[in-house]
Amino acid sequence: MPTSASTDRIEKQITLDAPRSRVWHALTDVEQFNGWFGVALQAPFVAGATVTGKLTVKDYDHLTLQVWIEAMEPERLFSFRWHPFAIDPSVDYSAEPTTLVSFTLGDDGDGTKLTIVESGFDAIPASRRAAAFTSNSAGWDGQVKNLQAFLANGVVRQSS
């Protein structure tokens, strides 16, 4: 899985052994997204919507995730904003800038090339920027594995 990064941007690319329509639904159908991402979001993904739900990953299940859906261009682009590495329940992250997470789909033979980009880390407060970047970079590696497992058999083997 090629990876590129700067201080502001994480990028992961992978070719998935599934048609673009299948990958699109795994990314944008909230129930499927919940299944591989490790969250229980409570509303459908619609551009302009705010969607929240509890994380379901061990040791993080006390946290609520909130995402703001930016774009949904069927079978091409899905993006949302969130507060990266917002894992301290005693901290109010609402005044901080968000990062933008984009999933871009393209054809690659019989599979789908997926590019995941999370950008905007340079605007995160310096006191937590490096930890957010490092954690989310590793987190996307795990989420790609979860997505692959989900696409292969509908079951997720949660990454640590």
| 97: CB partners within 8 A, 6+ apart | 120, 123, 124
What is the predicted pLDDT for the residue at 2? 55
Task: Locate the DSSP E strands across the chain.
Answer: 3-5, 9-16, 39-41, 50-55, 64-73, 77-82, 99-108, 111-119
Q: What is the pLDDT of residues 44-67, one digit of tens each?
A: 999 999 999 999 999 999 999 999
What is the predicted pLDDT for the residue at 6? 77
What is the predicted pLDDT for the residue at 159? 44
Phi, psi for 95 (deg, rounded to 5): -85, -10
Any long-range contacts for 106-109 (C-beta under 8 Å, 24+ apart)? Answer: 106/20, 107/20, 108/15, 109/15
Structure-block tokens of residue 74:
């069927």
**Domain locations in the chain as residue ranges:** 3-153
Q: What is the pLDDT of residues 4-34, one digit of tens each?
A: 557 899 999 999 999 999 999 999 999 999 9
Q: What is the pLDDT of residues 76-117, one digit of tens each?
A: 999 999 999 999 999 999 999 999 999 999 999 999 999 999
Confidence of residue 155 (pLDDT cuts 50, 70, 90): low
Q: How would you class 137 by CB atoms within 10 Å of its CB: exposed for 0-12, middle for 13-18, buried for 19 or more?
A: middle
Confidence of residue 157 (pLDDT cuts 50, 70, 90): very low
What is the predicted pLDDT for the residue at 156? 58
DSSP state of 96: S
Domain 3-153 falls under CATH 3.40.50.1000 = no
Confidence of residue 127 (pLDDT cuts 50, 70, 90): very high
Number of Cβ atoms within 10 Å of the Cβ of 156: 19
For residues 64 and 54, give the distance between their C-alpha atoms in angstroms, rounded to a whole number.
Answer: 4
What is the predicted pLDDT for the residue at 160? 40
Q: For residue 150, is pLDDT > 60?
A: yes
